[in-house]
């Protein structure tokens, strides 16, 4: 079936999912898209979109027909030049993906994760103490950015010098999954310096031998991957391993300020910290969505999508479907959150999600121990990115516990 014929079989929309208006608050537009139908054609970019829970889960779990090998962004990296080498975790399919994922999974052993959790808990307590002593601070720059860009890189084995490039690289990567708009061009202004630093940090000799990054290189010693492939396996941790956590923590603080009853609930029961972070990721969707590419003609909810066609898979849309989540716009840290798409679904789910969850649980529990209540000390400002939801600034005042 041609694309023109396919378009006539499903509703169309002039929605621009990369506009400032959408990125600042995508949820009203996603509600409208879901009301149009399970599959919608986005006229502006010539792609299809799924934003319902059922279809999002189905597409993400079907890597045989919805491939990642053409890139997880708008551009087809098979046919179009890319500013970076494709990820050999997120942008390849089995059997290559299976081999590479196994190398990474083995590096994140239960013993290592236990040690990391202890480190995260200790460092979270230290940061929370310092923030409470301040009384007023910016929950983005003083909290959400500080914890993941200090604690995780330490555990990963990064050297201290140049870490300011981590957030710039993440902005570049996630803006790069959209069109080459002004937002992407701005993030690309210092790309040579940023990419050069990131590339250098991915080499074995740049990583401390006691960190997680060095463990990935054991796959080279075992003959499973090459030295170049190991560097590409390290690289995703320096973007996806940080940015999702930064944005989730900032948006999570804002959610707790707006739903103070939930903060009181967490303070009464620190055991809810883990589920609270999951609810933040579900409700806020720090990653709005990624693309897949059909490698054959496929039918989704009765709509025939041609082969070699991009499909925008909306994590944010799936995470607030009323049929799946009761009162989905509400923030409820006791909610049964299993099944959200915040970290992706299927074999290409977020490689750093285990560590993100550990960080989130640690810092929320530490803050709940020390902060009695929060309030805004100024208006929050959104940080717009072609793929991510986050905040640029979030001034807050806290009352000590």
Predicted confidence (pLDDT) per residue in 119-130, tens digit:
999 999 999 999
Binning pLDDT at 50, 70 and 90, where does residue 8 land? low
Give this prediction's pTM. 0.94
Between 321 and 112, name the one with better pLDDT.
321
- Does residue 1 carry a pLDDT above 60? no
Name the DSSP letter for residue 64. T
- Does residue 15 carry a pLDDT above 90? yes
DSSP β-ladder status, 40-42 and 12-13: parallel
* pLDDT value for 351: 80
* pLDDT value for 3: 58
- Does residue 5 carry a pLDDT above 60? no
* DSSP H or E run through 310: strand 310-314
* pLDDT value for 89: 82
Q: What is the dihedral of CA 222, 224, 225, 230, to 10 degrees?
A: -60
SS3 323: coil
Beta strands in 315-352 (DSSP E): none
Going by C-alpha positions, the residue among 162, 358, 360, 168 that lies closest to residue 252 is: 360
CA dist 378 to 23, 250, 263, 381, 396, Å? 21, 14, 20, 9, 7
pLDDT tens-place string over residues 39-98: 999 999 999 999 999 999 999 999 999 999 999 999 998 888 777 888 888 888 899 889
Per the CB < 8 A criterion, the answer to whether 369 and 400 are in contact is no
């Amino acid at each position: 079936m041609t694309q023109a014929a396919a378009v006539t079989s499903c509703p169309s929309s002039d929605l621009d999912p990369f506009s400032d208006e959408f990125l600042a608050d995508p949820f009203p537009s996603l509600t409208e898209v879901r009301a149009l139908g399970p599959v919608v054609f986005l006229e502006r970019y010539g792609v299809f979109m799924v934003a319902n829970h059922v279809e999002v889960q189905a597409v993400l779990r079907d890597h045989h027909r919805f491939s990642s090998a053409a890139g997880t962004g708008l551009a087809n990296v098979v046919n179009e030049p890319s500013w970076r080498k494709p990820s050999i975790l997120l942008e390849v399919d089995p059997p290559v993906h299976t081999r590479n994922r196994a190398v990474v999974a083995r590096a994140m052993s239960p013993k290592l994760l236990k040690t990391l959790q202890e480190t995260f808990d200790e460092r979270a307590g230290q940061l929370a103490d310092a923030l409470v002593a301040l009384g007023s601070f910016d929950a983005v720059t003083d909290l959400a950015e500080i914890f993941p860009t200090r604690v995780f890189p330490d555990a990963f084995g990064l050297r201290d010098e140049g870490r300011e490039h981590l957030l710039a690289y993440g902005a570049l990567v996630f803006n790069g999954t959209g069109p080459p708009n002004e937002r992407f061009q701005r993030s690309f202004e210092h790309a040579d310096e940023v990419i050069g630093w990131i590339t250098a940090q991915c080499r074995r000799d740049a990583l401390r031998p006691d960190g997680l990054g060095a463990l990935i290189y054991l796959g080279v010693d075992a003959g499973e991957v090459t030295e170049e492939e190991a560097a590409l396996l390290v690289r995703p941790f320096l973007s996806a391993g940080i940015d999702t956590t930064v944005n989730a923590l900032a948006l999570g603080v804002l959610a707790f300020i707006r739903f103070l009853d939930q903060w009181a609930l967490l303070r009464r029961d620190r055991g809810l910290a883990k589920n609270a972070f999951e609810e933040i990721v579900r409700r806020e969707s720090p990653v709005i969505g990624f693309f897949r590419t059909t490698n054959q003609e496929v039918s989704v909810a009765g709509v025939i999508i041609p082969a070699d066609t991009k499909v925008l898979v909306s994590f944010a849309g799936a995470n607030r479907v009323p049929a799946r989540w009761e009162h989905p716009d509400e923030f409820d840290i006791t909610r049964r959150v299993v099944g959200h798409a915040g970290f992706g679904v299927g074999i290409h789910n977020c490689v750093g999600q285990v560590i993100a969850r550990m960080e989130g649980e640690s810092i929320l529990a530490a803050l709940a121990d020390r902060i009695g209540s929060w309030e805004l000390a100024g208006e929050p400002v959104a940080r717009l990115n072609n793929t991510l939801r986050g905040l640029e600034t979030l001034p807050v005042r806290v009352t000590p516990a």
